[in-house]
Amino acid sequence: MARYILKRILTAIPMVFLITVLCFALMHFAPYDAIDAMTTPKMSQETINLIKAKYGYDQPVYVQYIRWLDGIMNGNFGYSIVTKQSIASDLAVRLPNTVKLVLPAYLTAYFLAVVLGLLAGANKNKRTDKIIDAISSVGIAVPSFWFAMLLIFALGYKLKILPIVGMHAVGKESSIADFLKHFIMPFLTLTVSFMPANIKYVRSSTLTQFSEDYVMVQRAFGATKSEIMFKHVCKNVLLPVVTRFGMAFRLLITGSIITETVFSWPGVGPYFIKAIQGMDYPIVMIILVLSSTMVILGNLFSDILYCLIDPRIKEMG
Amino acid sequence: MEETLKKKDKILSAADIRTTFHTHGRTVQAVRGVSLYVESGEILAVVGESGSGKSVLMKSVMGLMPDNAEVKADQLTFAGQDMLGMDQEQLRKMRGKEMAMIFQDPMTALNPLKTIGSHLMEVLKRHRGMDKEAAKKEAVAVLNQVGIPSPEKRLGQYPHEFSGGMRQRVLIAMALCCKPKLLIADEPTTALDVTIQAQILDLLKSLQEETGMSIILITHDLGVVASLSHRIAVMYGGLLMEEGTTEEIFYTPKHPYTRALLHAVPKPHSGSKERLEPIPGMAPSLIDPPSGCPFAERCKFACERCTKEIPQYRTYSTTQRALCIYSGEELDHKEGEVESHG
Ligand SMILES: Nc1ncnc2c1ncn2[C@@H]1O[C@H](COP(=O)(O)OP(=O)(O)O)[C@@H](O)[C@H]1O
Ligand code: SF4
Ligand SMILES: [Mg+2]
């Protein structure tokens, strides 16, 4: 097993490397680059060359890449072209805000999805199942920004019980109650957007498990409905569900771009959108790299977890 | 007096079991009125091609049918208890305790995420009220009984660490946990290699002798049961075509289907050159079963009468009866004719 895990880790490293190359190349060959953002057509060629030299753009591409990669590894993510701020220190403020929103929403959505999915799967074709399945189908079809608008309209505009934008009211930065007030709507929006697909997943995996032979065997040996559910089916359903957690890693960075933007939540989302609009390509690049790295780390995490909790895989490697 | 004595000896007695599935607006009559009994301490073989309703019949007896199935019967008595009057909970408490069932595919019958030990101990705790320690001890004992080497070590292992034959042994061990009066084995060796098949069947036979329990052994292979069973019931198209002692079925079979099945069995002492004679045709669809004898389409003796009504049983001895419009003698006669003409 240790060998398998080691192998998995070793294959993940070149993948991350490949991603950095890819992101860099994409941005490098984009028609509009950092120099265009910093210069104006009126500038003389000398000035432009000076600026190029200052930021290292006069070097060959591979040197630029190595410098950039070296910077990332040392926590130096470069500077915004537009604001000239350090990206690392911007993200140090924004990432925690995103995590504060995404993590609770994701955990809530996951917990509810497991409960509702199991409930639906255990009551196949009965009323409970039909209601839960219908709700999750609708949930999948409804775009999250639309749901956010609905919330804003009802709770913020009509009832005026919740603030519409931001994370804090000015001057109340340390008030938890104030934070929670701002938190509720984006939290609800995210939870509702994460939940339906997960409910469907848990439900169908429950249905599959209930049709397995071992369930019939357990019935033949006098197991009660709840014994079958909690001692047998649950374990088999939760195994893939737990390992799906890894897939959520990415969400911690780019999981709520739309929601954060709608509610002006000071997280990574609006920062990313603004960077795209302003062609602030070092920011875009870093966020892409971080987010794809999280995908790979997440997969790695899933595989290792699977390996640790599934007795069938423990034997391998 | 004799009548009551005889009744007492029957561990299971069922009259006119009918099982119907309702799916997508269609009905499938999987079992169309089967009566059978099992004496205590005997091995009854239920034989028939796949799709003849053997598994459905047994699951109906066990109360294991899904919600879309409707089971009716005139009588269903197990160990003197009327099962028809029992509710779901009472039936559940009997399952795995007084009557146990093992299935065709041992590879999928165990929960892949639970150890062999917890499979066995769950049954022991449930039905025998044992605590963890006692259950563990007993689990080791039953694993020993079914011939699994180093049972203490095996207890902590998972199903995937066992071969197919070993898994079937584990399931048999699970069934033995509560010393049931009746064990239903639904094609327990179909999924296994030939050599393993023989081992499992030997095990079942010796366990039967050791414990005195009754066994219903379901198989689609008559050859398998010759040396094993006391009696044989032959099923076809959801009906019991013939039943009799093993001798009766092998030496004086009455029903054309039984005879055809016997022709399809390799004779142990004849040279391997002898060709088997497969029964031509296919088993009938149970969605719209033929109104007459279900075997009519494939029966070489079939006449117009056969397709009109389901024949009545003819009784040949206290143990043998067959469902055919012709008697055994008439068929012998016809067979002679067919052969002399052909
Ligand atoms: N759950 C079910 N729903 C509908 N039809 C079924 C179901 N289970 C079995 N049947 C039908 O019942 C018939 C008998 O099946 P079965 O008892 O499994 O045959 P076998 O003799 O091979 O064990 C088959 O025609 C099968 O299609
Ligand atoms: S009733 Fe007719 S069709 Fe059926 S087995 Fe007898 S002879 Fe053949
Ligand atoms: Mg079957």
Its ipTM equals: 0.91
> How far, in Å, is the centroid of ligand 2 from the Cα of B248?
19
Please tell me if the CB atom of residue B284 comes closer than 6 angstroms to any atom of ligand 1.
no
Rounded Cα gap, residues A114 and A98, in angstroms: 24
Q: What is the largest CA-CA distance in chain B?
A: 73
> What DSSP character marks residue A86?
B
Note whether A312 contacts B158, CB cutoff 8 Å. yes
Ligand 2 pocket: which of B306, B309, B312, B332 to mutate (most atoms <8 Å of CB)? B306
Closest Cα to residue B248, out of B190, B321, B301, B305? Answer: B321
Mean of the per-residue pLDDT values for chain B?
90
Nearest residue in A to B122, CA atom: A223
Rounded Cα gap, residues A198 and A191, in angstroms: 11
Rounded Cα gap, residues A198 and B339, in angstroms: 68
Which comes out higher in pLDDT, residue B7 or B31?
Answer: B31
Q: Give the tens place of pLDDT for each residue, B247-299.
A: 999 999 999 999 999 987 766 554 444 455 667 777 767 777 778 899 998 99
pLDDT at B3: 45
pLDDT at B4: 44
Chunk chain A into consecutive blocks of 10 residues (it has 317) and report each block's average pLDDT, rounded to whole numbers.
85 90 82 70 82 79 88 86 89 95 95 95 93 94 91 88 85 86 94 94 95 96 95 92 86 91 94 91 90 93 87 67
Query: Could you tell me how many CB contacts below 8 A there are between chain A and chain B?
Result: 73
User: Using an 8 Å Cβ cutoff, are B183 and B102 in contact?
Assistant: yes
> How far, in Å, is the centroid of ligand 3 from the Cα of A22?
56
**What number is the average pLDDT over the span B155-180?**
96
Ligand 1 pocket: which of B27, B55, B261 to mutate (most atoms <8 Å of CB)? B55
Note whether B103 contacts A220, CB cutoff 8 Å. yes
Rounded Cα gap, residues A51 and A180, in angstroms: 46
The continuous run of DSSP H or E covering A22 comes out as helix A2-28
Burial A255-267 (b: 16+ CB within 10 A, else e): bbbbbbbbbebbb
Closest Cα to residue A200, out of A150, A143, A138? Answer: A138
Please tell me if the CB atom of residue B55 comes closer than 6 angstroms to any atom of ligand 1.
yes
Indicate which residue's Cα is closest to atom 1 of ligand 2.
B324
- Distance, in angstroms, between A110 CA and closest chain B CA? 22
> How far, in Å, is the centroid of ligand 2 from the Cα of B144?
48
